[in-house]
């Protein structure tokens, strides 16, 4: 813990951490030491981790990357934070992210951008860019992230680490600052599938009293499952024999950069060597996932973010004429440009006269996308493809063109809209030596299979 605190400070230029608290972290580390001295053994006992600043924490400030929450201190810990703390993991600090998790490059944070440790002129992905950069730069062995439309998978891909978004509802959303509640899901980001498995087992589980979408399913030991065969035909030499991997035609088209496709194909060739069979499948409504998501997510965000009114908590403007002026000024000052854009979009698509044309249509498309996956899973056990259509772009490259950033979410949004588990596994490198991730998507509750397929490849 001490060494990593120093490492975090020495690499402050990356912009990964928003809060460190040496005293708190060292006290937690000493408590873990005592548990170890008493003979307790547990995989995460004493292991330093860090949390995306979207999880509320009572021992550290929480900003959600927004000026709106500057100086905010939560009176309680998010369920995921509390569960990890209970295993004896030490909280090293809070990690930068796009404001309210809205973004793809961690360039929408009120506290400055995060740099990609592989090339500091590039983004680390987003919105969990502090998490991806910190793990990739070895500032911390593992971190939490959240994924609403790709924010665990895409930053993992851009920084050459492993990250998994479990089935929607598997991790409690209690204490996660809400962006789009029907999509938001927590997950781990780490160096390997095995580390992700250890964290994920500590993060999942029912929290029925506190999160109405939390699922009543027992915790699984994902790390123990890594050693189990994935199909009856598996052998030692070919541990993935019998596993059918579906390649959606729509993920391998002209929209994906050739260097990314080359790295993904090379990884898939390895999967074949491990015994997996590749089958071509269709996800015909892939393109529609972008308009559907960018209607549904802002709609939910406009509702969720209405709580930041400058009254109960959040930034409050200094000078105002009356109550409505106070709301206006506080929200104009507290929210960044992208957040305001989403609130306006969301309010528009939900408004009378537009609801049927936009929001309802988007919900119908969402259902069809989920059905397409169920048809695809009749032909395969897992789905694979790129995580993003390019390697990490240059900081600032997409800042003036929000739609360009939205389009880059094309391969992560379908699984998000369907609530399916997905992960990013380092596949290789693209142009300029930048990392490329392979995306694996499983059917509901197939996290163990995803992690197993990633583990055998790693
Ligand atoms: N890039 C997507 C967005 O901006 C996804 C973000 C996320 O998953 N939190 O909404």
- Pocket residue to mutate for ligand 1, from 297, 408, 415, most atoms within 8 A of Cβ: 297
Q: Which ligand 1 atom is nearest residue 150's CA?
A: 8
Q: What is the pLDDT of residue 346?
A: 98
Distance 146 CA to ligand 1 centre (A): 9
Residue 151 annotated among the catalytic residues of the structure: yes
Q: Is the pLDDT of residue 139 over 90?
A: yes
Cα separation, 164 vs 409, whole angstroms: 16
Q: Is the pLDDT of residue 52 over 90?
A: yes
Angle at 355 between CA 354 and CA 358, to 5 degrees: 80
CA-wise closest residue to 135 among 188, 183, 82: 188
Q: Which ligand 1 atom is nearest residue 294's CA?
A: 10
- Pocket residue to mutate for ligand 1, from 102, 157, 399, most atoms within 8 A of Cβ: 102
Q: In this predicted model, what pLDDT tens digit does every residue of 339-376 receive, in sequence order?
A: 999 999 999 999 999 999 999 999 999 999 999 999 99
Q: What is the pLDDT of residue 137?
A: 98
CA-wise closest residue to 408 among 390, 396, 435, 381: 390
Q: What is the pLDDT of residue 242?
A: 95
Do residues 192 and 160 lie in contact, with contact meaning Cβ atoms separated by under 8 Å? Answer: no
Q: Is the pLDDT of residue 387 over 90?
A: yes
Cα separation, 145 vs 282, whole angstroms: 29
Residue 306 annotated among the catalytic residues of the structure: no
3-state secondary structure of 329: helix
Give the full edge-to-edge strand order of the sheet including 162-165. Answer: 17-20, 90-95, 48-52, 142-147, 185-190, 162-165, 422-429, 435-442, 382-386, 244-248, 277-281
Which region, left, alpha or beta, applies to residue 109 given φ > 0 means left and ψ of -120 to 50 means alpha? beta
Looking at 74, 109, 151, 418, which residue is catalytic? 151
Please state, for a pLDDT cut of 70, what percent of the chain lies above it.
Answer: 100
Please state, for a pLDDT cut of 90, what percent of the chain lies above it.
Answer: 97
Q: Is the pLDDT of residue 290 over 90?
A: yes
Distance 285 CA to ligand 1 centre (A): 19
Q: Which two tokens stand for residue 281?
A: 């499948």
Distance 31 CA to ligand 1 centre (A): 36
pLDDT band (50, 70, 90) for residue 228: confident
Distance 135 CA to ligand 1 centre (A): 20
Looking at 25, 52, 201, 289, which residue is catalytic? 52
Mean pLDDT, residues 155-173: 98
| Pocket residues: Cβ below 6 A from ligand 1 | 101-104, 127, 147-151, 179, 297, 409
Q: Which ligand 1 atom is nearest residue 338's CA?
A: 4
pLDDT band (50, 70, 90) for residue 315: very high
Q: Is the pLDDT of residue 116 over 90?
A: yes
Q: Is the pLDDT of residue 314 over 90?
A: no
Q: Is the pLDDT of residue 313 over 90?
A: no
Q: Which CATH architecture has domain 2-225?
A: Alpha-Beta Complex (3.90)
pLDDT band (50, 70, 90) for residue 205: very high
Q: Which ligand 1 atom is nearest residue 183's CA?
A: 8
Mean pLDDT of the chain: 97
CA-nearest residue for atom 5, ligand 1, is: 149
Interface TM-score (ipTM) > 0.95:
yes
Do residues 43 and 222 lie in contact, with contact meaning Cβ atoms separated by under 8 Å? Answer: no
Do residues 89 and 181 lie in contact, with contact meaning Cβ atoms separated by under 8 Å? Answer: no
Mean pLDDT, residues 95-100: 98
Cα separation, 18 vs 25, whole angstroms: 15
Q: How far is CA 432 from CA 118, 291, 398, 447, in A?
A: 10, 31, 19, 32
What is this structure's pTM?
0.97
């Amino acid at each position: 813990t001490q060494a990593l605190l120093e490492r975090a400070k020495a690499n402050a230029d990356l912009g990964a951490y928003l809060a460190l608290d040496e005293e708190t972290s060292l006290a937690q580390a000493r408590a873990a030491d005592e548990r170890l001295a008493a003979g307790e053994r547990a995989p995460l006992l004493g292991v330093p981790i860090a949390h995306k600043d979207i999880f509320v924490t009572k021992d550290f400030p929480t900003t959600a990357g927004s000026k709106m929450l500057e100086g905010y201190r939560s009176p309680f810990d998010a369920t995921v934070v509390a569960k990890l703390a209970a295993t004896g993991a030490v909280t090293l600090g809070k990690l930068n992210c796009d404001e309210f998790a809205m973004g793809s490059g961690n360039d929408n944070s009120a506290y400055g951008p995060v740099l990609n440790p592989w090339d500091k002129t590039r983004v680390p992905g987003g919105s969990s860019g502090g998490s991806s950069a910190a793990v990739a730069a070895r500032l911390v062995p593992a971190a939490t992230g959240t994924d609403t439309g790709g924010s665990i998978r895409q930053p993992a891909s851009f920084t050459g680490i492993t990250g998994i978004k479990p089935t929607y509802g598997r991790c409690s959303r209690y204490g996660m600052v809400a962006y789009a509640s029907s999509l938001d899901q927590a997950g781990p980001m780490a160096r390997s599938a095995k580390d992700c498995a250890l964290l994920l087992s500590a993060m999942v589980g029912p929290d029925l009293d506190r999160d109405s979408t939390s699922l009543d399913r027992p915790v699984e030991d994902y790390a123990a499952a890594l050693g189990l065969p994935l199909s009856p035909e598996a052998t030692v030499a070919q541990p993935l024999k019998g596993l059918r991997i579906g390649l959606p035609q729509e993920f391998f088209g002209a929209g994906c950069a050739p260097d990314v496709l080359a790295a993904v194909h090379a990884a898939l060739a390895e999967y074949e060597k491990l015994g997996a069979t590749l089958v071509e499948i269709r996800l015909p409504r892939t393109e529609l996932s972008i308009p559907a998501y960018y209607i549904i997510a802002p709609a939910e965000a406009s509702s969720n973010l209405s709580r930041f009114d400058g009254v109960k908590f959040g930034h409050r403007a200094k000078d105002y004429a009356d109550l409505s002026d106070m709301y206006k000024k506080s929200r104009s000052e507290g929210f960044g440009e992208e957040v305001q854009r989403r609130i306006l979009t969301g309010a528009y698509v939900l408004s009378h006269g537009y609801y049927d044309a936009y929001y309802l249509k988007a919900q119908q498309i969402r259902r069809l996308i989920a059905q397409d996956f169920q048809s695809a899973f009749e032909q395969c056990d897992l789905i694979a493809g790129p995580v993003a259509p390019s390697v990490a772009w240059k900081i600032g490259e997409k800042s003036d063109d929000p739609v360009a950033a939205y389009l880059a979410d094309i391969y992560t949004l379908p699984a998000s809209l369907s609530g399916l588990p997905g992960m990013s596994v380092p596949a290789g490198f693209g142009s300029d030596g930048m990392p490329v991730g392979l995306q694996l998507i499983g059917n509901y509750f197939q996290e163990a299979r995803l992690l197993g397929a990633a583990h055998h490849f790693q």
